[in-house]
Structure 1
């Protein structure tokens, strides 16, 4: 059974949130980009946490947690919900909004967050006491 991933989800969520803030800064005009970016930061951490812990949650359902396609489907659903949320927040802001390919990049990062962490997480120093 997979384990609950907390600190790596927060760290990688902060990285995705930083990428989102860079995209928001390049897409929106004026000073409103900073508040929009700060609004997006906790949601990217939340969606990254959900995406990185799919295997742990599916492990409670017996054999369904061992099916790779169901795991991918749930991660895809989380990424699509995250993309819809990002696009809706940009549309509500009323200015330029985010470019579609920026939303796709964030969705792809949300989808692939646990797989990316498996390869690059060992290079990020996290203290043992955490």
Structure 2
């Protein structure tokens, strides 16, 4: 009975260590996923809020006030607890439809050593 005690303690230690590693990995994955989902929601709602309806002449065209959109997105997404606001860098890329409209928006956020990226396809019905 006592001779098996070191093996049992070692087995318990290895099991506890594996549980900690799996929990740490799962928590980091969840944090990354929730940040990206929050970024996508912020991107979509900010784009809709800053849509420029005054110049929308054709159905299906999405015009955006880019300066207001970028400012609002930085303000809303900057409230995230996962960001280091002093070293956060935002990169906005717009896919235009060849006229004055926008088809998609891609945002890349670099905060410290972490990088988040989201794309929003602005699908406006043609009818």
- TM-score bracket relative to the smaller structure: 0.3 to 0.5
TM-score, reference length from structure 2 = 0.39
Higher strand share: 2
Task: Using CA pairs under 8 Å that are at least 6 residues apart, name the structure with larger relative contact order, 1 or 2.
Answer: 1
Q: Looking at CA atoms only, which structure, 1 or 2, has the larger radius of gyration?
A: 2
Structure with the higher helix share, 1 or 2: 1
